[in-house]
Amino acid sequence: MPLIRDSGTLAIRCFKSVEHCADRLTGAAGPVFVAICWVLIVLGGISFVDVIIIHKPLSFLRLIFLPIAILILLNLYSQYYYVIRTPPGNPHSVVEEIKREAPWMIEKGSDREHRGMLADGTWAGEKLRKCGRCLGPKPIRTHHCRVCRSCVLVMDHHCPCQYGCVGLYNQRYFVLFMAWLSVSCWTFAILGYQDFWLSMSYKPAWVAVTPPISFTLIWVLSVALGCAVPMLLVWHIYLISRGETSIEGHDNDYFTTKAKERGVTYINPYDLGSRRHNLEHYFNVGPGRLPYYTLFMPFRYPPSTSGWRFPLHPIALSRRRRNSEVPEDDRYGNVVVGDEDEGELTDDEGGGGGLWSEDQEEAPWT
């Protein structure tokens, strides 16, 4: 038995070592991926302008399409620039906001009467936890990234192609970049279809500056990305319409299954009740927010939340306003909201770091 136990411990250590090496490799390769992405989209833009726009007879339709093509290219480059240059959002960068606006949210005990909540019930957090890795404050929907070595507000995933995480402050740009990349690829593939066959023929009729072989490779790459990226985009739009991130999607599937086994219905507390409301909240557009046309503008826009307060599902909001005490005759008594009993599955701090206090010892990030 001791031999089996020692072998198991050794195997776990080996897996952990491989995991740490993979994390370090992913972080180190980030700049390389970013450079490759920039080279590809810039070469694609140059080929598009050179072959499809400049070296074509100017017609009325092309004159109309020209500003649209410029808008597509501007959004493609600007959205990717915003993705890689906008920090996803870290809790420790807004600790001063906690001390200034909500010192009562610092949890000292576990009783419900001490859990902070705004009068209108829009503060989704009940406890201000402490991250077991970076020892900083860890609001709800925040996760620690092993590659970035920091907590990320509303973390979706770590993306090597942007050399960082997709989180609260750059998630809009990430989705819009995928959308404009899809549009760019199919625009290039459709309008450059005849030029593609011309580049394959090696005839002297090729007058563009871009070499035929370069145009051929870029066209093939555009078709490939035009098939792959839209599927990823649709998946993210689907998650957004449900009010969840990629990480939360895995957890919510588990909670839904567990709820069915118990004969109850699981509700994601951050699902606002309709797909439209979830999408408007994510992109910060709609009534009382930014105009819809900002989705087509190559500019920066703030998110609809600070990462500490979140609008809730009507049932979740109703329960929080009643201090989560559900009477026996409650018509939603067979509904479980959020991970009330399970805890957060996607936390990887080895059991969590407890609760955060503003008078704690100095953390590694200070």
Whether residue 22 is predicted with pLDDT greater than 70 in this model: the reply is no
Mean pLDDT across the stretch 343-348? Answer: 51
Share of the chain above pLDDT 70, in %: 69
Q: Provide the pLDDT for residue 318.
A: 63
Per-residue pLDDT band at 120 (split at 50, 70, 90): very low
**DSSP secondary structure of 262-312:** TT-EEE-TT--SSHHHHHHHHHTBSTTSB-GGGGGS-S----SS-SS----
Whether residue 227 is predicted with pLDDT greater than 90 in this model: the reply is yes
Mean pLDDT across the stretch 4-32? Answer: 57
Whether residue 253 is predicted with pLDDT greater than 80 in this model: the reply is yes
Contact 173, 79 (CB under 8 A): yes
Whether residue 360 is predicted with pLDDT greater than 60 in this model: the reply is no
Q: Provide the pLDDT for residue 298.
A: 93
Rounded CA-CA distance 53/69 in Å is: 9
Residue whose token pair is 């907590």: 151
Whether residue 8 is predicted with pLDDT greater than 90 in this model: the reply is no
Q: Provide the pLDDT for residue 77.
A: 96
pLDDT tens for each residue of 91-118: 876 555 555 544 444 443 333 333 443 3
Active site residues: 159
DSSP β-ladder status, 335-337 and 265-267: parallel
Q: Provide the pLDDT for residue 176.
A: 97
Per-residue pLDDT band at 204 (split at 50, 70, 90): confident
When comparing pLDDT for 256 and 295, which is higher? 295
Whether residue 240 is predicted with pLDDT greater than 90 in this model: the reply is yes
Cβ-based neighbours of 124, under 8 Å, separated by 6 or more: 140, 141, 269, 270, 309, 310, 311, 312
When comparing pLDDT for 257 and 6, which is higher? 257
pLDDT tens for each residue of 55-83: 877 777 778 888 999 999 999 999 999 99
Q: Provide the pLDDT for residue 202.
A: 72
Whether residue 350 is predicted with pLDDT greater than 90 in this model: the reply is no
Whether residue 357 is predicted with pLDDT greater than 80 in this model: the reply is no
When comparing pLDDT for 140 and 175, which is higher? 175
